[in-house]
Amino acid sequence: MDTASLIPLSKILLVFTAMVLGIKFRLGIGLSILGGSVLTGFLFQIPFTQWILIAVSSLLDYKLVLLAMIVTLIMLLSRILENTGQSKRLMRELSGILPWPKFRLAFFPALIGLLPMPGGAVFSAPMVKTAAQGHGLSGKEKVLINYWFRHVWELIWPLYPGLILAAHLSGIPLVKLLGYTWPGMVICVLLGWYFYLYPIKKLSYPEQIPKFSAGNTFYESFPLLMAIAGSLSLEALVWSLNLPFDPETGLVAGLFIAIVICAVQNKVPMSSVMGYFKEKHLWQMVFVILSIFVFKGILDKGGIVGEISGSISGKSALLAATALLPMIVGLISGITIAFVGSTFPLIIGVVDQLGIELNTAYVVLGLFSGLAGVMVSPIHICFILTCEFFHTNIAKVWPGLFLPSLLLFLSGIVYFFILA
């Protein structure tokens, strides 16, 4: 790789550094990301008028509206569950079958992880907060546990759009692909245990474990079950009947129904529900989402991802592209479907140029690599929302993701040579 080919990567590194510094020095997450998109346009010589057009088109994307609605509803449901004490009641009921404190800390993020919705980590954050009460855990520890275990299913749960897209682009049946990617889930769980749960000092067991009541547990968990099962069912219904809606509208409907159920159960007046929309914290999150979409739009429509991919060439182009591109895009976008949709066509194109048959090992490596980048990305919306929920400085928490994400990446490399 010559010096000139490193220029695009160097520019992106500079943008990435500027955003992290902005967040570190409390410029604000949304402003830091938005400023990073402006700097990206400047460094890659995108005319400002074109930058404006790209930003406007990104903000008009209907997926942005869906994402904003989903995150808003998640935060609203989470707030009602927390303020009414229902999350505490659910935790008390479940403690009858979950007596191990560390297991409880990981259980709820993993449970919510079965629902592939953006920003879902903020849904489980109140549960982790409740489970951690009385154990002296720091905000950093709670953020890392909630964030990491929320994503342990990314490489095996067949409802994740990134996996579905990877199977479609590669032509590998989804069931077959999952037969190769399942070790990723085991690795993620082990890494989460070793780095985030094991170091915690021995936690105290409940003095008296309450008797488990299936009826009470079902009642207290009903809004949560509706949010997960209802959303997935409605999403599947939209998809299977080929209705003229985005499948994620099923998530919106399921979350809305869950909020209604929770409000009725706790007799929360409509005025109190509407009062949550006046909170500054909610609108800060909406601004962060808008900024992320603008940044993604500049990367995509500005041709920057393509310029980065063009800088990687040589005899080992296929392996380099598979190992590096998904990780880079995952790092700078923080979204799984972004690295799959933008880099897998490039990887498959390299395969065509080399005239070889696509090996499943390359697809698996790309997924491991991309997920490692996504997990360490400081603009991953789940990471941002979790830090915001626990009022923890991102700059202090972020280094805690470096080594586990690196080991996930390296495990993908090792696994590649086992499969290849």
CB neighbour list of residue 123: distance below 8 Å, 6 or more residues apart: 74, 77, 78, 112, 115, 227
Kindly report, residue by residue over 256-269, the tens digit of the pLDDT: 888 899 889 988 88
Q: Cα separation of 133 and 98, whole Å?
A: 15
Q: Cα separation of 388 and 109, whole Å?
A: 16
DSSP one-letter code for 203: P
Kindly report, residue by residue over 318-332, the tens digit of the pLDDT: 787 788 888 987 887
Q: Phi, psi (5° rounding) for residue 268?
A: -85, 120
For 312, the token pair is 């990687």
Q: Residue 94: how many CB atoms within 10 A of its CB?
A: 20
Give the residues of the chain that fall short of pLDDT 50: none
Q: Residue 259, class by beta-carbon neighbours within 10 Å (0-12 exposed, 13-18 middle, 19+ buried)?
A: buried
Check residue 232 and give its pLDDT: 67
Q: Cα separation of 21 and 16, whole Å?
A: 9
Check residue 404 and give its pLDDT: 96
Check residue 148 and give its pLDDT: 95
Check residue 10 and give its pLDDT: 81
Task: Work out whether the CA dihedral 27, 382, 190, 329 comes out positive or negative.
Answer: negative
Q: Which amino acid is at 104?
A: R
Check residue 390 and give its pLDDT: 87
* This model's pTM is above 0.85: no
Check residue 205 and give its pLDDT: 54
Check residue 121 and give its pLDDT: 75
CB neighbour list of residue 181: distance below 8 Å, 6 or more residues apart: 155, 156, 163, 364, 367
Domain boundaries, the chain: 157-195+303-420
CA 82, chain centre distance (Å): 22
DSSP one-letter code for 202: P
Residue given tokens 């990367």 in the structure block? 299
